[in-house]
Amino acid sequence: MKFKRLTAICVAAVCIIGCSAAAEQAAKVYVNGQQLDSDAYIINDRVYVPLRAVSESMGAEVSWDNDTRSAYVEQKEETAVINTVASVGQSVVAIVGTYKSDAISSDAQNYNELYAHGTGVIIKSNGTILTNAHVVKDIQNLTVIFANGDSYSGSVQFIDEISDLAVVKINKLGLKPVTFAPENSLIVGQTVIAIGTPLSVNHINSASKGIVSGVGVNIGQHYLFTQSDVAINGGNSGGPLINLKGELVGINSIKYSGVGVEGMSFSIPVDTVNYVLSSFEKYGKVLRPDMGITLTESWEAKIGVPTKKGLTVTVSKSESILPGDVITHVNGYEVHSIADYNEAIKKSFNGQSITLNYTRLGVAGVAEITTN
């Protein structure tokens, strides 16, 4: 038979490693938090472990072609989704509270209820949880609920309504934090999963799968978003969007709905999450410069047409920048929309001055603006 299970090669590998590494130190290998029940060794600062043990622990199928001396590892997407949801689900919580009496939201009126709920994701083992600002800004008696029914009183540590991100803290140690994906790692067509609490707490840790529909999407908000076709509904807000590695790629925040509208969900990308969390830790808030100028987009940018046109200054309190000037770069980053401008600030502002490249009556210029 051409294809055989990989038992033989695994046994041989363990024997060879065991013989040559008698004096070497044994190692433990964990896959998605679970220790492999297989020998592993460190040789020349490298960890060696049977291929089959690692692959099958991740739900992959392993086969061996004896003619070509080749090992084949295949992981079905279905298995990857199941494993990812099971692993990351341990880091996802529901957030519940009652609306403040002076801030009864439209959602509460629509559902004829006086409680609010959303989703959060654990980002530190000490009980630090990330969610949307709009989930927690108007609620009291904040309670965090785990999938097993355990609940803990929580409090809002930080909140930034512009980015729609907030940090909640509970008194619980030893939690499993989510792993963050590298920034700018998403590509259109990539499979992603949303986990959250849609509609009611009865649906805690409900999962839905889709693909990335767009990255760096301008939807008229302060920053750019990731678009996907995962199904999210009221209550999913603040929950994680994850890749098949179980890494956080975004925080679910907005969806388009209406007659003829389907599969348009938007998530705050991980680079914005990192920026906001870093600002919370450094300053207790997100620093945003006030340069005393008002900007407007070109008509192309307003309707979403790709354009190289800059931002026109309509009001200015600065002597260096005048109404009618067109801003083309902010701290070296090209800007064609208000979201581009805010992204440039996010990437480069450190509390100091801002450098603006502009054109005035067709003539290029550079101005350094001191911020407030």
* Mean pLDDT for the stretch of residues 112-140: 88
For the structural domain made of 293-369, what CATH number should be given?
A: 2.30.42.10
* Mean pLDDT for the stretch of residues 296-324: 90
Give the DSSP letter string of 155-194.
EEEEEETTTTEEEEEES--S--PPEEPPTT---TT-EEEE
Per-domain residue ranges for the chain?
Answer: 3-75, 85-170, 180-283, 293-369
Question: Is the confidence at residue 307, as pLDDT, over 50?
Answer: yes
Lowest mean pLDDT among 98-112, 192-206, 310-324: 98-112
Q: What CATH superfamily classification does 85-170 receive?
A: Trypsin-like serine proteases (2.40.10.10)
**Percent share of the chain, pLDDT over 90:** 48
Mean residue pLDDT across the chain: 83
Q: What is the pLDDT of residue 7?
A: 33
Question: Is the confidence at residue 174, as pLDDT, over 70?
Answer: yes
Q: What is the pLDDT of residue 277?
A: 97
Cβ atoms within 10 A of the Cβ of 260, count?
4
Which of 55, 87, 164, 206 does the annotation list as catalytic? 164
Q: What is the pLDDT of residue 72?
A: 73
The two domains 180-283 and 293-369 share their CATH topology (first three levels equal): no
Question: Is the confidence at residue 228, as pLDDT, over 50?
Answer: yes
CATH architecture of 180-283: Beta Barrel (2.40)
Question: Is the confidence at residue 106, as pLDDT, over 80?
Answer: no
Tell me which residue of 199, 160, 176 sits closest to 121, measured CA to CA.
176
12 contact partners, CB below 8 Å, separation of at least 6 = none
Q: What is the pLDDT of residue 20?
A: 43
Write 54-57 long-range contacts (CB < 8 A, 24+): 54/29, 57/31, 57/32
* pLDDT tens by residue, 183-195: 988 999 999 999 9
Task: Evaluate whether 65 touches 79 at the Cβ level (below 8 Å).
Answer: no
Q: What is the pLDDT of residue 349?
A: 84
Cβ atoms within 10 A of the Cβ of 183, count?
14
60 contact partners, CB below 8 Å, separation of at least 6 = 73, 74, 75, 79
Question: Is the confidence at residue 13, as pLDDT, over 60?
Answer: no
Q: What is the pLDDT of residue 11?
A: 31
* pLDDT tens by residue, 43-99: 877 878 877 777 666 666 777 778 888 877 766 777 788 888 998 999 999 999 888
More confident of the two residues 151 and 203: 151
More confident of the two residues 161 and 350: 161
Q: What is the pLDDT of residue 3?
A: 38
| Residue 164 appears among annotated catalytic residues | yes
125 contact partners, CB below 8 Å, separation of at least 6 = 173, 174, 175, 176, 177
| Residue 134 appears among annotated catalytic residues | yes
Q: What is the pLDDT of residue 204?
A: 85
Q: What is the pLDDT of residue 46?
A: 83
Residue 323 to residues 261, 301, 341, 355, 370: CA-CA distances in angstroms? 39, 19, 17, 17, 18
* Mean pLDDT for the stretch of residues 20-45: 70
Which of 117, 134, 222, 336 does the annotation list as catalytic? 134
Lowest mean pLDDT among 125-129, 310-314, 366-370: 366-370
* pLDDT tens by residue, 250-301: 999 987 776 666 778 899 999 999 999 999 999 999 988 888 889 999 998 8
Which of 237, 265, 316, 337 does the annotation list as catalytic? 237
